[in-house]
Amino acid sequence: MAPAVAARREGDTFQARIFWLHAARLLDPESGVSRVGFETGPKSFDDIRIVYDPARCPNDHYGRPVQREHIQCKWHVTQGSYGYADLVDPAFINATTRSFLQRARDARHKVVSEGIGVPEDVGIRFKLVSNWMLERTDPLRDLVSQRSGGIRLEKLCSPSTEKRRFGRVRQVWREHLDIDEDELRCLAQTLAFGHDPRSLDELRGDLDERFARVGLRRIPANQNAFPYDDLVFQWLAQGRRDFDRAGFRDACAREGLLRPAQGGRSVYGVKSFEHAFDRLEERCHAVLDLVPAFDARYIRQDDDWRSTLYPRLKTFLSDAARAEPRLRLALDAHTTLAFAAGSIIHVKAGREVELEQRVAGRQIWAADDQAPDPAWPTFATETVELRPDQPDIAVALGLTHDVAADMRAYVETSLPQVGRLLILRPTTGPGRQSVACGRHAAGLADAATDAVRAAKAGGSALVHLFIAAPNAFTFFLGQRRTALGTVRLYEFDFDGDGNRSYMPALTLPLPPAPSADDPASASSAMRR
């Protein structure tokens, strides 16, 4: 098969499998999806159309409901990246005259003119889904929300925030489209960008899992042919390109695809941000949605960790643990919440826990999932005596990347009560592959706990935790919170909305509630 033909075939396969991931949700009565279309909608954004039930639709990164998504799928045989300038180049989308941005503007005008029952631009999203990622050094990467994939308008349109860098983006886009600032803002708030790194085989594996849950015929992994890829194009040739719940079920029944739903293990989800492709509500038995409490990395109210988020998390997980002897958790959540979840379902809770860990695709990690391997990296320990007369300890746990320098900078300027730094790094160096599996993560959590206890030398010092690690490791470490003593968690401003430093989050165990007649105590609690 010629390379160009093979590439086109793989592109069609990618589009078909993304369609099935969404269309299968029509068979889930708890899903918010009400219609899914294939090759229908405005030109260049007609690969897939998703219409949501207004009462159960997802939100964008500003908390606004998204009622309809128009998706353009772009598959590349080789790995690569793109930036803001590619969006004004027709060649980027294999066109000759009109660019991605020009087609997005045309699509927006067409959809708005249809009148779908929502105010102009609100509830509409035009999304590019590609296996290419945003170029790391390109301004577009900093403009796109890491949580939703939407454009962060406060950065794009603010004249005071990195004026030269983002101003150049505005200038290039405005001049290319021949529009003013107001129209650019209207267009930008409807755009979204999604990076789907899954291979075609990984997509097929995820489809198998979803099909089992909703009652569609599964195709064995050792069978080369995957008939679902061709079926959607056969439906297209017959003029069947748009499906509601009843119509999709009927179409699948006619093809002999319906089977009793296998259910499988109940998954309980906790989210403080929205995953670009895999909404927990579409496959979890129950979901604790904490997204509205956050603005990117920032919690909206200083006291929400203590008075709202932790109590809600404890209630949700306690109920789940009572219902399931072996619990499976999906944590699309901040580091603090992963640790807190572990502290709630601690090692003496009498529950075995599996965690969905997003690595290459999605894996199930548990403390007993693999036999130990002596080749797995352990911790290299470094201790820094910073202020010998101060009692507290700051701990840097840099598994995915090194956080020691950022932690030290924050401690030196903001935590005068910290006397000692404990730095724990994998012996092979930080990286995405530093933790092999659930058993390895649990073993590292044990090792980190031992290192902290040794550093405390039996004292009662407050332990300040700065963590960059898979959430499974952080959960296992949280399960050992009692052995660590009193800890305070910190979140890093990865998105750059603040000063790209740390912010104090949650202190565990929870301090006593402040007295109403003790202003000093109340003020202190508000900062935790």
User: 318-360, pLDDT tens digit by residue?
Assistant: 999 888 878 899 999 999 999 999 999 998 878 889 999 987 6
pLDDT digits (tens, 9 = 90+) for 154-206: 889 877 644 678 889 999 999 999 999 999 999 999 999 998 888 999 899 98
What tens digit of pLDDT does each residue of 92-149 get?
988 899 999 999 999 988 887 776 545 555 688 999 999 999 998 999 998 998 778 8
Measured distance CA(349)–CA(337) in Å, rounded: 18
User: What is the DSSP annotation of 27-63?
Assistant: G-TT--EEEEEES-SSTTS-SEEEEE-TTS--B-TTS
- Asked whether 108 and 121 are in contact (CB, 8 A), the reply is yes
What's the rounded Cα separation, in Å, for the pair 494 and 491?
A: 9
Instruction: Return the DSSP state at 351.
Output: -
pLDDT score of 524? 39
269 in helix, strand or coil?
strand
**What values do phi and psi take at 180, rounded to 5?**
-95, 180
The residue-averaged pLDDT of 512-516 equals 59
Query: Count of H helices and E strands in the chain?
Result: 17, 21
Determine the Cα–Cα distance for residues 355 and 361; give it in Å rounded to an integer: 14
Q: What does the buried/exposed string (b/e) look like for 155-184 if buried means 16 or more CB atoms within 10 Å of the residue's CB? A: bbbeeebeeeebbebbeebeebbebeeeeb
Map tokens 């499906």 to a residue: 243
Both structure tokens of 103: 């087609």
The band of 461, judged by pLDDT with boundaries at 50, 70 and 90, is confident
| pLDDT at 485 exceeding the cut of 60 | yes
Phi-psi region of 457 (alpha: psi -120 to 50; beta: other; left: phi over 0): left
Q: What confidence tier does 514 reach under pLDDT thresholds 50, 70, 90?
A: low
Q: Which sign does the torsion angle of CA 344, 346, 352, 356 carry?
A: positive
Share of the chain above pLDDT 90, in %: 60
Long-range contacts of 288-295 (CB under 8 A, 24+ apart): 288/312, 288/313, 288/316, 290/333, 290/337, 291/59, 291/63, 292/59, 292/63, 294/334, 295/497
Tell me the three state secondary structure of residue 355.
strand
- In angstroms, the CA 313 to CA 506 distance is 13
As a whole number of angstroms, the distance between CA 436 and CA 17 comes to 28
Residue located via tokens 């401003």 = 493
Strand 68-74 versus strand 48-52 pairing type: antiparallel
Q: Nearest-5° angle of CA 7, CA 12, CA 14? A: 95
pLDDT at 525 over 50: no
Residue 165 main-chain phi, psi, to 5 deg: -65, -55
What is the Cβ-side half-sphere exposure of residue 238, based on CA atoms within 13 angstroms? 9
Q: What is residue 433's DSSP assignment?
A: T
For β-strands 81-82 and 133-134, DSSP reports them as parallel
Show Cβ contacts of residue 91 under 8 Å, excluding neighbours closer than 6 positions: none
Confidence of residue 226 (pLDDT cuts 50, 70, 90): very high
The two three-digit tokens of residue 515, written as one number: 């007295």
For 63: left if phi > 0, alpha if psi spans -120 to 50, otherwise beta; the answer is: left
Instruction: pLDDT band for 527, please (50, 70, 90 cuts).
Output: very low
Residue pair 91/97 in contact (Cβ under 8 Å)? The answer is: no
Whose structure tokens read 């290192």?
A: 451
pLDDT tens per residue across span 409-431? 999 999 999 999 999 999 999 98
Q: Per mean pLDDT, which of 206-210, 265-269, 293-297, 445-449 is the most reliable?
A: 445-449
Average pLDDT, the chain: 87
Q: What end-to-end distance do the CA atoms of the chain give, in Å?
A: 61
Binning pLDDT at 50, 70 and 90, where does residue 523 land?
Answer: very low
Residue 314 sits at φ, ψ, to 5 deg, of -65, -45
